[in-house]
Amino acid sequence: MKSSVEKLSATRTKLTVEVPFEELKPEFDQAYKALAQQVNMPGFRKGKVPAKILEARLGRGVVLDQVLNEMIPSRYSQAVEEHDLKVLGQPDIDIAELKDGEQVTFTAEVDVRPEIEVPDFSTISVEVAPLKADDDAIAAELENLQARFGTLKNVDRKVKKGDFVSIDLSATIDGESVEEATTEGLSHEVGTDSLVEGLDDALVGMKADEENTFTSKLVAGEHADEEAEVTVKVSSVKERELPELDDDFAQLASEFDTLDELRDSLKTQVEEQMKNTQAGEIRDKVLAAALEQTEVALPEAVVNDQVEGQIQQIIGQFGGDEKTFEAMLAAQDITREKFEEDSREAAEDSVRTQLFLDALADKEQPEVSQDELMDHINFTAAQYGMDPNQFIMQLQQAGQLASLFADVRRGKSLAINIAKTSVKDTDGNDVDPKQFFGIDEAAAEGAESEESADKAEDKKDDKSESKKYEGKKADKDAKPSAKKAPAKKAAKKTPAKKAAKKTEEKEEKKTTKKSTKKDSE
C-alpha cells in the first residue's frame, strides 16, 4: 500500500491511498465468505458456494463492492497512522481508480487539527478579585444554617416579605378562564419572585382569606406570554421562627459544642469557597489571555456539526416541533437567524478552546493516573446525578472513556501552565497560582537534577555514547518525565482539582453529548 498527503487548507487534508490487488486476498476471502452466507444454490450447502460460482451468479461488481467495504476503513486508518494525522470527524471517501486485478486507488478528505503555536504562559499576567472572608460572609452562612432549622408558625397579620403563604391562583383572558393557570393550596415564600411576575407585590399587605387581582403575563401553557387577569387568594400566613444563636444551636446544627467553634468552622468553609472561586477566575482569565495570543484555524465542518447538534438538541426538547421552537424564540424577541448566529459563535469558541487545549496537552504530555481518571469519573457522575458504576458502563457502551481521559489530560496540562503565570488581585496583592495549580517541586527538581547529570555524563562519552544519549532522549520524549506532569500530591489539592475539573466540565458539557450522539450513530 502507498499513501500520500495533500494539505488543502490549515484544517483540511486529502489522503490518496493506492492498494495493489495482491494485498487484498484477506478481503476477497472475507467477501466470498460473507456473500456465500447470503446465497442459496441447489447442490451446495449454505456458506459453501465456490468463489467462481458466486461471481458468476452475483457478478464481479458485487464482489468488488464487498471487498472495498472491507478494505477501505482499515487502509484509511493505516494511512492516518502512517502520516500521524490528528483527524477530526469522518472522512469523505471517493474511489479515484479501480483497475480490476491490478490496483484500487481511493481518496479521503478529512478535517485535521491545525498546527497551533502555544504561547509562553510565563508572560501572561491576570488580575482577579481578592479573597475577603469578612464577618458579613460568615454571618450570611450562619443565617442560612439558622434558617434550615427554623420552624413555621401561623400569624394573624398582614403579609410581608419573608412570610410563607398558602394561596389559590386563577387567571382569565378576555373574561375566559385559563384552566392551566388555576391552582389551589400552593405554598410560596413571599419575596422570592419565583412564580408569576407581580404576585409578590400583590401579596404584601394582604391577610388570610383576602383576595387580590393584578395583571401579569402567563409564563407557560397555551397562553404563554399573554396578558391575563390573575386573582390570588390567601389561605394562611406563616412566618419562620428562627432558633436562638447559642451553644445549643451549635450542637443541634453541627458536630460542634459551642457557637464559637461553629463560627470558626464556617469561616474555614467560606475561605475554602472563596479560594475555589478565585481559582476558577484565575483559570478562566489565564485561558482567555492565552487564546487571545494564539491563532487557531477553525475546521468549518466541525463547527457546523456542533451548531447543528446544539440546534437539534434544543428542538428535541420541544418534541422535534420546529414551529413550537420558533414560537419560543419569537416570545423572547429572538429571530431564528440571531439564534443560529449566537449558536455559531458559541460553537466556534468551544471548538477553538478544545483545539488549543489539545495542542497544549500534546506539548506537555502529562501522565494521567488511574486514580485521577477515577476521580474525574466520580466527579462527572455526580454532576449528572448518576451512580459512578452506572456512569462507567454508559461510557464504555458509548466508547467515551477515552474522551474523559483526554479531558483529564487537558485539565492537567492547563494547570501546569497556569502555575507559570503572574497573578495579582484588584487590591494589588500578589497571588501565587501554584497554591491552586502547583506541581510537586521536589519531584520536578529531582527530575531536573537527573537530566542534568545525564547530560554531563554524555558530554564525557565518545560519539557512540552520544548516540546512546540520543536514543535515551527520544525515549524520554515518548514517555513524559516527572517534571512535565504534576505529581499525585499536587493533583490532590482541593482548589486545583476543582478548578481543573471545572475546565474539563465546561468543554465536556458542550462536547460529550455531541460526541456520544456521533458514536451512537
pLDDT digits (tens, 9 = 90+) for 205-246: 999 999 999 999 887 777 877 889 999 999 999 999 999 999
| Residue 481: exposure state from Cβ atoms within 10 A (0-12, 13-18, ≥19) | middle
Residues 192 and 67 both lie in one domain:
no
Looking at the structure of the chain, the number of domains it has is 4
Residues 323 and 409 both lie in one domain:
yes
Residue 499, pLDDT above cutoff 60: no
Residues 336 and 365 both lie in one domain:
yes
Confidence of residue 475 (pLDDT cuts 50, 70, 90): very low
Task: Tell me how far apart the alpha carbons of residues 407 and 361 are, in angstroms, rounded to a whole number.
Answer: 10
CATH of the domain at 97: 3.30.70.1050
Residues 195 and 335 both lie in one domain:
no
**Backbone phi and psi for residue 102, each to the nearest 5 degrees, phi listed first:** -120, -65
Amino acid 59: pLDDT: 83
Q: How many residues does the chain have?
A: 521
In the block, cell 497556569 appears at: 418
Task: Tell me how far apart the alpha carbons of residues 507 and 414 are, in angstroms, rounded to a whole number.
Answer: 13
Domain membership flag for residue 128: no
Residues 159 and 231 both lie in one domain:
yes
Beta strand 422-425 pairing with 125-128 = parallel
Counting residues of the chain whose pLDDT is more than 90, the rounded percentage is 51
Residue 453, pLDDT above cutoff 60: no
Of 218, 241, 264, the one marking the end of a domain is 241
Of 201, 220, 241, the one marking the end of a domain is 241
Residue 496, pLDDT above cutoff 60: no
Average pLDDT over residues 79-105: 93
Beta-carbon contacts of 482 under 8 Å, excluding residues fewer than 6 positions away, are 443, 444, 446, 447
CB 1 within 8 A of CB 19: yes
Average pLDDT over residues 470-489: 32
Counting residues of the chain whose pLDDT is more than 70, the rounded percentage is 83
| Residue 356: exposure state from Cβ atoms within 10 A (0-12, 13-18, ≥19) | buried
**Backbone phi and psi for residue 244, each to the nearest 5 degrees, phi listed first:** -70, 140
Residues 237 and 98 both lie in one domain:
no
Domain membership flag for residue 392: yes
Domain membership flag for residue 323: yes
> Could you read off the pLDDT of 136-145 as tens digits, one per residue?
888 989 999 9
Domain membership flag for residue 276: yes
Residues 360 and 506 both lie in one domain:
yes
Residues 293 and 193 both lie in one domain:
no
Residues 425 and 312 both lie in one domain:
yes
Amino acid 132: pLDDT: 77
Task: Tell me how far apart the alpha carbons of residues 380 and 374 are, in angstroms, rounded to a whole number.
Answer: 10
Residue 291, pLDDT above cutoff 60: yes
Residues 433 and 449 both lie in one domain:
no
Domain membership flag for residue 376: yes
- The pTM of the full predicted model, rounded to 2 decimals, is 0.67
Average pLDDT over residues 180-186: 89
Q: Is 519 left (phi over 0), alpha (psi -120 to 50) or beta?
A: alpha
Domain containing 393: what range?
272-439+485-520
CA distances from 328 to 179, 221, 271, 308, 376 (A): 21, 11, 42, 18, 36
Domain membership flag for residue 257: no
Q: Is 89 left (phi over 0), alpha (psi -120 to 50) or beta?
A: left
Residues 297 and 215 both lie in one domain:
no
Least confident of 240-254, 319-333, 353-367, 388-402: 319-333
Q: Which contacts of 34-41 are long-range, i.e. CB under 8 A and separated by 24 or more positions?
A: 34/66, 35/62, 35/63, 35/66
Domain membership flag for residue 193: yes
Residues 292 and 397 both lie in one domain:
yes
CATH of the domain at 229: 3.10.50.40
Domain membership flag for residue 67: yes
For 339, the 3-state DSSP assignment is: helix
Average pLDDT over residues 487-514: 44
Amino acid 334: pLDDT: 87
Of 241, 258, 287, the one marking the end of a domain is 241
Listing DSSP states for 417-458 in one string gives HHTTSEEEETTS-EE-THHHH---HHHHHHHHHHHHHHHHHH
First to last CA, the chain: 30
**Backbone phi and psi for residue 329, each to the nearest 5 degrees, phi listed first:** -65, -45
